[in-house]
Structure 1
């Protein structure tokens, strides 16, 4: 049976309003859009826009920080002016435009690409992508505090069980969208598009999330006629800010010793604001004080999408039949969340309780921070292993000389301490860095007396003249078969590559075409392939996710339980603000430290979090848990008693006035009678 809340517009299926279906689908598509775009973002910065690791990381974390600053703006707009429904609609349009802008910014055209896939008109791509990211941050952050609350509004007061189920499904959709998108968009990025095979298809990787955002918006609009749309009733955050501002102003105005001290500085607002509101603000400030150390956790956590992804580009992603892309390693996070949350709630926490240990929410959060620090210790250890495999290139004050012997006999070269080398006209540029994204740099040297044409299914090396070399070309891992042709003669040569290697392949003057030509080819491995396996990142992903479950999920639960009934949103905004500050800390620490070695930076962040963890544990030790409901009830009772006393006083005053009026009336009558006499 329909209830009055839905005004006969929304059907109810199995006790749930059908409008919930549109909200759940909207959230799934929106989260797919956001996490899908974000999964490949740092690689887009590095390999498409050609930014270095530090700049790519800085812009990435600036974007994430903005995504967690704008929820405050969205909450104020929704509660004060537009309402949740219109806020979601308008900001989703902004969101979709931003995603489309990102997809367009990654498009190559015939006149805008070099052979290596690097865009010529870089300014256009940078400006458009920055505009797109700003619009996305405004959109995703603005609707973040609205969608879940709007879904909760669709239920009547007697549907508390259905409302709880909705929030569980809502959380599942968030992680489901995140999981699928971090699997799919890296695959799309790995495709080739454009007129040159070297180009990675970032336009497709951004285009699919853009399409999902449009679908999200359309689905939400389709359900418009079925929604219950609560009107904006004013923003409690504005009231809180005004009350705090008045207390500070009033305290500063009465700083003279002539005025008596008050127990709490918020008590200076009693002249203008209700005591219950002041008590509620005190409870909120007490929790917000505990939030001060929390941004450091997010400083480490969000680097899994930047530094850890860049780390994976220098590792071996071959898992047998499955080859994992560097940005696909992020899928371990949502997978582990969906696994660990029920395990923690139904197994780990009950076992700890049975052991007699009081594992309070603040203790859980402390352990979560410590696990995140351990995750970065693991990342630092893995980076040390990676650094051992990296080639050593000459510094800016050094040069590197390679001599290629094309003859049949061994050549002995003596180089004195001071020597001058006159390079021949056929000199070619050598590699100055290790091939990235798991690609392999391959070049051919033709020792024949005739031209040599070399090609493979992925790359055409072109015609190589006698005693010259081709340029380096990038090939993916796996087996590659090369077609070698000289005049009417030809043969096929097969070689298997790993990840991130470099080879120079010699075709000697004694080379003979035919079925046994493979034996005549000489392969020189200049840079060894990535030998550190991506599987070594799994422990750090496990630790950071376990830390997230104990820190984030518990933190939200703690904040909700310690918040007054009408200020849940205030603490939610404060919680999201810690995420934004954490991402800004990444920029500050990285800029100040300027550590040349990545492993040192990982250990630095781990050390900082351990120090903050100690501070937070001390703060948590002195924190006293409260029951906001009891405190609010106490103040409400006191207010009721005060109101009752006030009514009694007014009633007695009225009775007294009435009695005096009666006496005066009698006196007047007597005076009138006397005057008649």
Structure 2
């Protein structure tokens, strides 16, 4: 082995140009020359511990490995002469000549189908859990967030498998199969004729889907990046990340629009919705996605890991820590990983320093994701308490989520072609880290907006009993004023055909409250034989009870209705309860109450023969309805009227029969409808969408370009892991219930992100960006050109670029 040197040349940046020549001699007598050119700063950069000795050590290590494979190798290092500048000109020409890899289009199409499937399923999932599987809203919310958390915890497993043994292609393939099976199971669980136990198989399906989407999540973007040759296609790589993120949002946008329509517009299996179709279409798209990915295999540039980098990474850390502890004379200026130099090669240690620097910056990121992922929970709940009517069309609360991907689709080209170039010319927000900090602050503004909006919405919320209290509603169906006397002797006037709510009712466990109701003998056209009625009402804290006052055989009577549920629905749809009072004992005909709007299925309520008949709350679409009453088998309408149900309202319709005629009918708004329009939620979506473009896309680019080649998937898995931690933070804060009103919780998240971004800006100020590496030898390639010279060391000049 020999070395030779000549007078070194320098490139335009003042760096010396060096070349390592590598000769491999095979057992059959043939040999092959490989050479690597790189720029080295004239002044050494000790911070990275990457000098000539390290390069020689790495070369000897690789040579030794080849000798184990019965190959002979030698190595020569020489400086490049200035006349080699023509080679750099050729390199520039090659950089311009390389075109977009054809495989990228298949990868983008695959990701579009996958995002359509996932976002569509996620959009209708919470309603399915509550309305079909009949989970309580709180339980459905917990299941939903656990599912999302799983989707972002599993990427760690996928990353380890991809970088250690399977490679990115096989990892995507295997987890996509699991993903597809999960979608099929979800579809079958939602199809009653199949006969599967719905809750059990839904949980199995969600587990498989979370495993599948989580496993491929850190690999797809990195696999797409593998199709490019660096640094020749550095510009195309950056364009790919923008296109890739555009595809994610466009697929999610279309899925969030079409999947709820499929679920709602089609009726199947005797229900007014068709969740089997809502889950079946995403399952079909996953089959298409898997097929496209498999078809493109001959076009892919596939890399296979040559060594278990995760094991080496962990072993190196443990060895360095143990060695440092055992070392008696410690150098305070020496990096702790440098203590592993005796056992591990210098390039691994150098790469680990870069990875740890990146992971260090990931610690503040979960706060951002805790804000971002509340679009599907808190913000949807907020929208359900707003009015979405636009020119006669009702925007449903779950549909408002479409605003985010729609805005992002518009902002991506606007930022890439307009805003970022202008900011770069002004030397503002040049680096990805700077853009991430700005995006975090903008996300905080979004939650300030949501907090202010929540304060306004609280004026429209129902007044519900607090701890130690209960409410009583008294509904007077008679055509005269009544007097209500409580147990303390205090009188309360009940005007004719009106409702009065008594709120101050202290309750300790179960409390009995006594009331007397007094009416005049002649109540309108009714002559009362008994004009006084006494009753006892059992109350428990947080309860709302309703008393219906009427007559029965000319006697004043009152009936206690079922416990009221005055909370607005999660979907924002209005609720309606029907109450029917029989005043004539001889009237025993079957009563049918029909509610229809001419568009959806008709709701029919059969009233029993008891003096008072009550229906459960009906959740209906907002709009105008025709309500009519028929007796027995007759189709003649004994009573008919129109009612208008507005978004978010809780209504109670009280009907009273007297001598076989409906003499009283009134619709009471137990909870006022939504009066603030849903358009007022759009400003916070705009802020959060801008934050997403600046934070997520920049973070995706930063994660891929700054990570060493052999550890890119792991770095991106850590990025997704921060998303999972953000969801966990939402659950913790929600369950802790620091505040009684939601507005203060929104302001808490805004304060957290503002403080978090200050910390993140301070942490990132000392980070030195690493130049993009050429393809290195930590991965082997298939479907690559046979004459391609792969860099052995892949160590470009590491000139610091401050963020």
Please identify, of 82-91 and 301-310, the stretch whose mean Cα deviation from structure 2 is larger. 82-91
Aligned position for 2:294: 221
Report the Cα distance in structure 2 between the residues aligned to 1:59 and 1:316, rounded to whole angstroms.
Answer: 28
More strand by share: 2
1:212 correspondence with 2:285: yes
The aligned residue for residue 622 of structure 2 is: 477
Alignment CA distance shift 1:374-1:228 (3 Å): closer
- Counterparts of 2:416 and 2:147, CA distance in 1: 33
TM-score of the superposition, structure 1-length normalised?
Answer: 0.79
Distance 1:186 1:410 in 2: 49
Change (3 A) 1:387 1:81: same
Pairwise mapping of residues 55-70 of structure 1 onto structure 2 (< 5 A)?
A: 55-70=139-154
Give the deviation of 1:140 after TM superposition: 0.8
TM-score by length of 2: 0.68
Listed as ranges, the gaps of 5+ residues in structure 1 are 1-13, 113-123, 640-677
Structure 1 stretch 610-619 or stretch 44-53: which is displaced more?
A: 44-53
Alignment of 1:322-341 (within 5 A): 322-341=393-412
How far apart are residue 409 of structure 1 and its match? 2.9
Superposed CA offset, 1:156-193 (max 9, x none): 78877776666554433322210011112223344575
Residue 403 of structure 1: aligned partner: 474
Which one has a larger percent helix, Structure 1 or Structure 2? Answer: 1
- Residues 605 and 169 (structure 1), Cα distance of their counterparts in 2 relative to 1, 3 Å cut: closer
Partner of 1:429: 562
- The answer (yes or no) to whether the contact 2:626–2:641 under 8 Å persists in 1 is yes
Q: Which residue of 1 aligns with 2:125?
A: 41
- The answer to whether the 8 Å contact 1:511/1:520 transfers is no
Q: Which residue of 2 is the match for residue 72 of structure 1? A: 156
Equivalent of 1:100 in 184, 197, 206 = 184
- The alignment status of 1:609 with 2:753, answered yes or no, reads yes
Stretch moving more, 543-552 or 581-590 = 581-590
SS in 2 for 1:36: helix
Q: Which runs of 5+ in 2 are unaligned?
A: 1-97, 489-512, 516-534, 538-556, 597-601, 777-790, 798-803
Query: CA offsets, 1:39-84, max 9 Å, x none?
Result: 2233334444444555444433332232222223223323433343
| CA distances 1:609-635 after superposition (whole Å, capped 9, x unpaired) | 2221221122233334444659x9999
Match of 1:127 in 2: 200
Q: CA RMSD in A?
A: 3.6
Equivalent in the alignment of 2:324: 251
Q: How does 1:55-454 map to 2 (within 5 A)?
A: 55-107=139-191, 124-153=197-226, 168-191=242-265, 193=267, 197=271, 200-224=273-297, 227=300, 229-254=302-327, 256-257=328-329, 260=331, 263-355=334-426, 357=428, 359-395=430-466, 397-417=468-488, 419-420=514-515, 421-422=535-536, 427-436=560-569, 437=571, 438-446=573-581, 449=584, 450=587, 451=589, 452-454=591-593
The whole-number CA distance in structure 1 between the counterparts of 2:177 and 2:792 is 46
Per-residue deviation, 1:459: 0.3
Once structures 1 and 2 are overlaid, which stretch shifts more, 460-469 or 549-558? Answer: 460-469
- Deviations, residues 472-493 of structure 1 (Å, cap 9, x unaligned): 4332101111232245642542
Q: Give the aligned partner of residue 645 of structure 1.
A: none
Q: 1:279 to 1:406 in 2, by over 3 A?
A: closer
Matches within 5 A, 1:546-565: 546-565=690-709
Where does residue 501 of structure 1 map in the other structure?
649
Q: Is the Cα contact below 8 Å between 1:456 and 1:481 reproduced in 2?
A: yes
2:437, 2:760 within 8 Å by CA — same for their partners in 1? yes
Larger mean Cα displacement after TM superposition, 151-160 or 396-405: 151-160
Alignment of 1:513-552 (within 5 A): 521-552=665-696
Q: Distance in 1 between matches of 2:439 and 2:126?
A: 26
Indicate the residue corresponding to 1:580 in structure 2.
724
Distance change >3 Å, CA 403–CA 276, structure 1 → 2:
closer
Separation in 2, partners of 1:152, 1:555:
15
Do the aligned residues in 2 keep the contact of 1:41 with 1:60 (CA within 8 Å)? yes
- Supply the distance in 1 between the matched residues of 2:762 and 2:100 (Cα, whole angstroms): 45
Distance 2:406 2:152 in 1: 23
Shift of 1:271: 0.3
Do the aligned residues in 1 keep the contact of 2:246 with 2:412 (CA within 8 Å)? Answer: no
Contact 1:236 1:570 (8 Å CA) reproduced: no
Secondary structure of 2:485's match? coil
